[in-house]
Structure 1
Amino acid sequence: MNEITLLTEADDRARRYTESIPGRRVFPDAAALQALAAFNEPLPTRGYAAQDVLRLLDDTGSPATVVSNGPRYFGFVVGAALPAAAAAERLMLAWDQCASSFDNSPVAATLERVAAGWVLEALDLPRESAVGFGTSATACTLSCLAAARRVLLARQGWDFDNDGLAGSPEVKVVVSELAHITVKKALRLLGFGMSKIIVAPVNHHAQVDPERLPPLDDMTILCLQAGEVNTGEFDRFDTLIPRAKAAGAWVHVDAAFGMWARASSHAELTQGIEAADSWTTDAHKWLNTPYDCAMAICRDSEALAAAMNSDAVYLSGARDAQKNLTLEFSRRARGIPVWAALRTLGREGVASLVDQHCALARRIAEGLQQAGFEILNRVVLNQVLVRARTDAHTVAIREAVQASGEAWFGPTIWQGRPAFRISVSSWRTTEQDADALVQLLIETAKRG
């Protein structure tokens, strides 16, 4: 089988899978999971035909997928690939570009530069900021925090690049009591030490409490968040950031999904966020691009470019070359699906997408509350935090819904007790899907 025939078959199989999304189980059944044992084979001495490899991948792999690209997946804010973004990704794979710099791929460098500008415009962030398209919020947070530490040390006359950390002035980090695990992971990888991280207490809405904010100074990195993972709440940027800036601290905002509220009618939630020094956000969440695509955004473009620089004698690049803004040297052009999504949605489409999901979250919350469920958050965004009449009932309902294959959402612990979290982030999800989820939960609760 020649290359074109093989790619055509792959396209056909992918098309059939996409067409089947509305009717598929959201989580695979036991038979599909057991069938995965077919992949547990020794490395072949002589390879199989490419067509056989593709057939096994589809026939055995496709039934075992989680249909997070469908309308009834409410597990995490993972979005669902918009048709234009998915199509752009397919063409990008055919191009097979190493998107390190203009010399590697003029088209990738051009499109990612345009996409970066559009992102700043859509989110109304300082237009001079650098935008690095990385793999995840974890990787992009690591990049931003590395740049922050480097800048704070330089202000003290310390050359981090040459002298490292041994003997350097201490850089303190203050994080929310409810900081996301990706922020903690990035800090741990950077060597800050979990026992030395200073925790800022939160109020009953899961926001950092301004009245109990730990002392800040010009050797402090303050990490805030837009869209707490359970409640969807936003820290009070308009209060906290001016205090941090007055002390000379660097402010980083973890805004993996919440940043996109800024492009919608819910922009007031982000008031003051533009005054921070760096931000991270994902496109594969609320912008609904394919995985994996996130953004490291830094007001001081030189700071990010200097921290991430990877110029070599055999390949140098412009300051804003993506290899000089991200962790990756050899990389795919993650900004191309972002460009495609923004070009097809436009400013109005982005706002409509976010507003639709927020409205559906409120619709779900209202339906569940009327049915006797306890809604634990204010539902300011796209997150609904739910508890049934007892902890055991809460767990049983969640497990029964997951096993049904009709919908999927995951567990969480809120204030020491079990709950479950419903996240709305797929462009495919409609009012009918939201109402079906409410009805499913009501019926499941009655059986339990």
Structure 2
Amino acid sequence: MAPVAPQAHCAVTQGNCGIPSQLIEEATVKQLLEQAAHRATAYLDQLPTRRVAPTGEAIAALAGLAIPLPEEPQPAEATLRLLDELGSPATTATASGRYFGFVTGGSLPVTLASNWLATAWDQNSAHFGPAPATATLEQVALGWLLEVLQLPAGSAAAFATGATMANFSALAAARHAVLARAGWDVEADGLIGAPPVTVVLSEEVHPTVLKGLGLLGFGRKRVLRMPVDGQGRVLPDALPRLDGPAIVCLQAGNVNTGAFDPVAELIAAAHAQGAWVHVDGAFGLWARASDSLRTLTAGTEHADSWATDAHKWLNVPYDSGIAFVREGAALRAAMAVTADYLPQEGPQRNPSDYTPELSRRARGVDVWAALHTLGRRGVAALVEQCCAHARRFARELREAGAEILNDVVLNQVLVRFGDADATRRVVAAIQAEGTCWAGITVWQGHTAMRISVSSWATTDEDVTRSLEAMRRVMREVRG
């Protein structure tokens, strides 16, 4: 028998050999969380005055994080300090009121706080039994979302990481439903030998929808494309003749122009041919929360499924997407999982029966907190305020000599500063100048700057400062 090695000396409490004592001593945990709160608050406090894009020096300093893996435990305070001192300066200030890049809203203060609390709870929100609080908050939040977005009561809904997985989840339900009608159990038997499914979508469909179709086995190229007009809207008479199982994907809010497909006509035509209609409304679906903007989405409620993001216009922390499906049984059939060790089905709703993930964070907590704090009127005001800022950007940049390519119906503004080369140079200079940050895009053959106004934090003063910087840079670059 081999000799037993002597037990290594353990210099930490409670016999947790190798684990730093500051991780298990209550007083130190409290101090660490207070330090984190102090550092996070300091980060937020400097957003109004700091540049939006990080400096080159801050990015270069990130090399200080690429160090050899420590052999021994390190003080937690030192870890936190290193993250803050090297990481914070190298972030893009997406929580700033002057970030207009991707369609992303900064986190509402209450959702940042609720996110911290939910992280402390550390619940795996897969099943009601082990996580009753977060499962309940999720169910209530999903019900409130149906009300705010005025979607059919009783629809099933589920939280996912973002619109990519929300679209995927809704389209999985669509796949189940249209093949079940044709007598095929796709979850049991797969797609080999299944009746072919026709998938129809916009010429300007968002790539996340294509990704979802690829993951579901439909293929990204085996689709029929519908032509669009000069604003990126599907033409009302573009729907082809459909035979057999079919899925039609429409848009509420073109990612470049903010335009809406004529959903009322297209849904009616698709349903007349027995097709399932899915609406990708990653940000545009939130127009339904506003009395003044809801007409843009007229008829959307008649679709079979919808997808949106809460980390866009509801301004909750990343990541938070939502899938809604009118036929809840189809979503559950596509997503539910069973195993001997999992809690058995009961009267309560198990969140993981409706999502791709089993292990999942408590996204419903942030959404509940946002909706409870804002209320119906607050959500509408948030959306309307962003759209008002977008209209001002378009008006004043046009007056300054820039070309606005789109009808500004929502929160998206496409700006051209001359030819493609001139536009690229102006956009690069605006990003480098630092006052604000807007992205670049190519839409219908035109290179343009895309301004997306999505944050509660954007004020009139933020818009004024950003416009001044844009006009100044435009004059300097164009000469």
Using the size of structure 1 for normalisation, the TM-score is: 0.98
Deviations 1:262-292 (A, max 9, x none): 0012000000000000000000000000000
| Aligned counterparts of 2:468 and 2:32: Cα–Cα separation in 1 | 44
Q: Which moved more, 1:318-327 or 1:109-118?
A: 318-327
Aligned partner of 2:331 among 295, 304, 308 = 304
1:253-268 aligned within 5 A: 253-264=279-290, 265-268=292-295
Identity of aligned pairs, percent? 52
Equivalence for 1:353: 382
Aligned partner of 2:367 among 330, 338, 350 = 338
Describe the shift of the 1:317–1:63 C-alpha distance in structure 2 as closer, same or farther (beyond 3 A): farther
Residue type at the aligned position of 2:162 = S
1:43-58 aligned within 5 A: 43-58=69-84
Residue type at the aligned position of 1:404 = E
Q: Which moved more, 1:100-109 or 1:2-11?
A: 2-11
1:409 aligned counterpart, secondary structure: strand
1:400 aligns with 2:426: no
Equivalence for 1:385: 414
The answer (yes or no) to whether the contact 2:402–2:416 under 8 Å persists in 1 is yes
The answer (yes or no) to whether the contact 1:178–1:206 under 8 Å persists in 2 is yes
| Aligned counterparts of 1:307 and 1:195: Cα–Cα separation in 2 | 23
1:66 aligns with 2:95: no
Whichever of the two has the greater Rg, that structure is 2
Aligned-residue Cα RMSD (Å) equals 1.1
1:31-430 aligned within 5 A: 31-264=57-290, 265-315=292-342, 316-317=344-345, 320-430=349-459
The answer (yes or no) to whether the contact 2:176–2:333 under 8 Å persists in 1 is no
Tell me how far 1:437 sits from its aligned partner.
1.7
| Aligned counterparts of 1:221 and 1:429: Cα–Cα separation in 2 | 38
| Aligned counterparts of 1:438 and 1:213: Cα–Cα separation in 2 | 41
| Aligned counterparts of 1:433 and 1:16: Cα–Cα separation in 2 | 20
The answer (yes or no) to whether the contact 2:98–2:435 under 8 Å persists in 1 is yes
1:7-18 aligned within 5 A: 7-18=33-44
Describe the shift of the 1:432–1:43 C-alpha distance in structure 2 as closer, same or farther (beyond 3 A): same
1:102 aligned counterpart, secondary structure: coil
Aligned partner of 1:439 among 468, 472, 475 = 468
The answer (yes or no) to whether the contact 1:98–1:105 under 8 Å persists in 2 is yes
Using the size of structure 2 for normalisation, the TM-score is: 0.92
| Aligned counterparts of 2:202 and 2:395: Cα–Cα separation in 1 | 29
The answer (yes or no) to whether the contact 1:253–1:278 under 8 Å persists in 2 is yes
- Specify every segment of 5 or more residues in structure 2 that has no aligned partner in the other structure, as ranges: 1-21, 23-27
The answer (yes or no) to whether the contact 1:255–1:280 under 8 Å persists in 2 is yes
| Aligned counterparts of 1:399 and 1:433: Cα–Cα separation in 2 | 20
| Aligned counterparts of 1:105 and 1:404: Cα–Cα separation in 2 | 47
Tell me how far 1:380 sits from its aligned partner.
0.2
The answer (yes or no) to whether the contact 1:102–1:317 under 8 Å persists in 2 is no
- Specify every segment of 5 or more residues in structure 1 that has no aligned partner in the other structure, as ranges: none
The answer (yes or no) to whether the contact 1:311–1:317 under 8 Å persists in 2 is no
2:47 aligned counterpart, secondary structure: helix
Aligned structure 1 segments of 4 or more residues deviating by more than 6 angstroms: none
| Aligned counterparts of 1:104 and 1:165: Cα–Cα separation in 2 | 35
| Aligned counterparts of 1:133 and 1:127: Cα–Cα separation in 2 | 17
Tell me how far 1:217 sits from its aligned partner.
3.8
1:47 aligned counterpart, secondary structure: coil
The answer (yes or no) to whether the contact 1:361–1:381 under 8 Å persists in 2 is yes
Residue type at the aligned position of 2:457 = R
| Aligned counterparts of 1:84 and 1:7: Cα–Cα separation in 2 | 17
Tell me how far 1:213 sits from its aligned partner.
2.1
1:196 aligned counterpart, secondary structure: coil
The answer (yes or no) to whether the contact 2:435–2:465 under 8 Å persists in 1 is no
Deviations 1:143-167 (A, max 9, x none): 1111111111111111212211111
Tell me how far 1:214 sits from its aligned partner.
2.1
The answer (yes or no) to whether the contact 1:364–1:435 under 8 Å persists in 2 is no
Describe the shift of the 1:78–1:317 C-alpha distance in structure 2 as closer, same or farther (beyond 3 A): farther
The answer (yes or no) to whether the contact 2:191–2:217 under 8 Å persists in 1 is no
